[in-house]
Chains A and B, each alone.
Chain A
Amino acid sequence: MKRKNNIFSELYGTYYRTAAKILAKDSVTESDIYKIISEETFSDSALFIPQKLIPRNGLSDWGLLFSKDGKSFSSVLNHKPLNIATELQKCWLKAQLSDPKFRLFIDDNVIEKLEKRLESVKPLFSNSMFRSSDVFSDGDPYTDENYIKNFRTIVNAIKAKEIIDVEFMSGRNERKHGHFLPLRLEYSRKNDKFRIYCSAYHNRHWSNGLINLGRIISVKSIDSKVSYETNMEEYFMLRKCTEPVIVEVTPERNGVERFMMEFAAYEKYTERDLKTGVCTVKLWYDKADETEVLIRLLSFGPVIEIKAPQSFRALAAERVKNQYELLNKA
């Protein structure tokens, strides 16, 4: 028995999508075609698509463009290309509707209409088919009315580049209040929580901020917008550790594979010693996550060694020293 719908299909492919973009134009020149290809496709695609698409002496392999003057090209189609949602895509949408996090983004009356439209569609999967063994048990309250209200206000503010007034409980359980420009939502599957990357406005200065959505008490609009686009690359650069942590990973207990998989989500640079199999890894992380990175590294035990920076190694040494003393005291 074989499934009929397949995600690895040319229907979703980059070449079809790029061709559709070109065919949607009333008329294109060869340089327009190359420009679209360079924006939409893989880095080698310019070697392959134009020769298939652009007619030479009135003919082309794909036969989708024609030219009257040899300089500009028009689509042979009578309509703009249509992107039909496939059964697989609709089944996926239907499955997502049962995820309370997906529903956070959409008003209830709209959800109802969408459910009606997808009534005859079978969900692609059910959430009960998947289980994460180590998701934290204190996830955000996705069905709480106040949480949903705050969530939607923040999403709208991100889209509109709107500054908002936020009242929240800090990590130290203190009630805080301030003006923030929300930039992006961040979801963590491990924590099962949303956070907001934002710029905080305080004493006439903008600074980098991060707020747990579950800790927000209220969000209000203050009718103030910014006109500029925040450069997220620069934003995250400011959050990044100044020096990468350097770790030596040994092959003992399959350490290299385990380490590489666990830290796959981090930006890193690796060198392997061919004789010993030991890998030296430079690992960059968000400064706010330093403790998390430290305890994750320590959980590998002696299979890895934190070599640098000295200040980070000292944090590990302090915990190990405490541990050694605790066991010897017992």
Chain B
Amino acid sequence: MAGFSELIKSFDKTRDYVRDFFIYGCKVRNDFNAKSSRTYDDEKRRVESWLGDYIHTDNSQRGKKVCISVDSGHISENPLYKAYYSKSFTDNDIKLHFLLIDILADGESLTLKELVNRLADDYGEIFDEQTVRNKLKEYSEEGVFIKEKQGKTDYFSLSPDTAESFFGEYDGLDNAVKFASEAGIFGVIGNSLLKASDLKNDIVLNKHNYIVHTLEDEILLDIVIAIEEKRFISYESFGREKNGELPEFSGVPFRILSSMQTGRRYLAMYNRKYNRFNSVRLDSIKAVRIGEVCHEYDELFEMYIKNEHKCFGVSFGRRTELGHVEPIKLTIYADEQKENFIINRLEREKRCGTVEKVAENTFTFTADVFDPNEIMHWAKSFIGRIISVEGGNEEIRSKFYNDIERMNRMYCDEKKK
């Protein structure tokens, strides 16, 4: 495997592989649409190298199977964060990183020329000005260096904010970051802060932990900037190649919607072409480009919020017009004396619906939603108690009744036992 490197230049291809290894856990080389088996081998070796403890290989009949199996409710650190810590760099990058910080560590403020001279005088390293200028620009944008103009000349000094200083000065911050690095939004950033201070999470675990979500954090950073600045975005989707190219879609982003039940995350946006709101799965988005400012953003957002209240999950329905809802009613049996936990479940999980007691031990859940089909996955978690399903549409009702027939044959057929 000559030329193999465990570091990578861009994240998107690896992101796709890691996700497949993790989610499916049953793919072999031939299942991946790689350009070559070499690509598969390299990606597999990288994933094995980053996630060693969690990788399981198994020689199934179809070839060697690779999967990542993690009991993610009981781990102290998301192992997929390691994928973010594998960016490739040049020898000059790492040299300049340590040497420039070392020169400025005494608190001096120096010019580009002075820094180039100090690199040569103090460490015997000869760099051309352009290379050092690029690094200074990059690190000033990252907040590592502070750039100040004196007359016509730029002076560079080191930011005083070390990671250790935050944890040292603010009691309890370490535990808060340990929590947020696993359960919070963009947890990988918190994890990088902990790592910079040699700290490890030893306090919080995260139930219903979809560790794979972190693979979307890179594109998510672009999306939150677009939302913050009220801009259009365009994006490419994975796996929908046409004539060898990925199609590009565009819209106005409003919110990231997630389901803790299904583990899916979506970008809710306005699609100008079809004049409707829709939700796009985040894991289907390969890359995002931030576009122009949307001047009608506030009006669209107001309309979006009105519509969002009619989503049980994330779906705005199939229709092209805005605002069409379908009522649905479930009637549920619960023994009021012994099964208060069922009534509590209905109350806390009803979302935009309404729960009412209609008779002794009988409760209804009603909702006006764009896509009543979304309710049915949740409704089936009450199997054993559903007295009737009304409203929605014929397709949904007959699917439910057929499903129960099939499940009855599946589980209760004497011959099958």
Chain A residues within 8 Å of B, Cβ to Cβ: 1-17, 19-20, 23, 42-45, 48, 52, 61-64, 76-79, 81-90, 92-93, 95-96, 99, 101-107, 110, 113-114, 124-138, 155, 158-159, 184-191, 195, 197, 232, 236, 256-258, 260-262, 264-272, 274, 279, 284, 286, 295-296, 298-302, 305-306, 313, 316-324, 326-327, 330
Contacts and interface: CB of A to CB of B under 8 A. Distances in A.
B74 A134 contact: no
Contacts of A76: 99, 123
Nearest to B14: A8
Contacts of A138: 344, 347-348
Given A83-B197, A84-B158, A129-B255, A134 B378 contact: yes
Contact of A81 (B101, B169, B255): B101
Given A62-B91, A96-B176, A298 B383 contact: yes
B211 A265 contact: yes
Contacts of B185: 95, 125, 127, 130
B375 to A, nearest CB: 11
B244 interface: no
A224 B291 CA distance: 60
Interface of B: 5-7, 11, 22-26, 45, 48-50, 52, 56, 60, 62, 67, 69-74, 82, 84-89, 91, 93-95, 97-99, 101-102, 105-106, 122-123, 125, 141-144, 158-159, 161-166, 169-173, 175-177, 179-180, 183-186, 188-190, 192-193, 195-197, 203-212, 217-218, 221-222, 224-225, 227-228, 231, 255-264, 290-291, 308, 311-314, 333, 344, 347-351, 377-378, 380-388, 401, 403-408, 410-412
Given A8-B87, A83-B163, A107-B171, A261 B411 contact: no
Contacts of A2: 290
A232 B74 contact: yes
Which of B23, B26, B190, B255 neighbours the largest number of chain A CB atoms within 10 Å of its CB?
Answer: B26
17 contacts: A61-B91, A64-B98, A83-B197, A85-B143, A92-B186, A92-B189, A104-B176, A129-B255, A190-B261, A260-B25, A265-B210, A266-B72, A272-B26, A317-B412, A320-B383, A320-B412, A324-B405
B170 A113 contact: yes
Contact of A302 (B170, B221, B256, B407): B407
Contacts of B94: 10, 15-16, 19, 62, 64
Contact of A321 (B50, B164, B189, B411): B411
Contacts, number: 410
A1 to B, nearest CB: 5
B401 to A, nearest CB: 7
A261 B24 CA distance: 8
Contacts of A20: 98
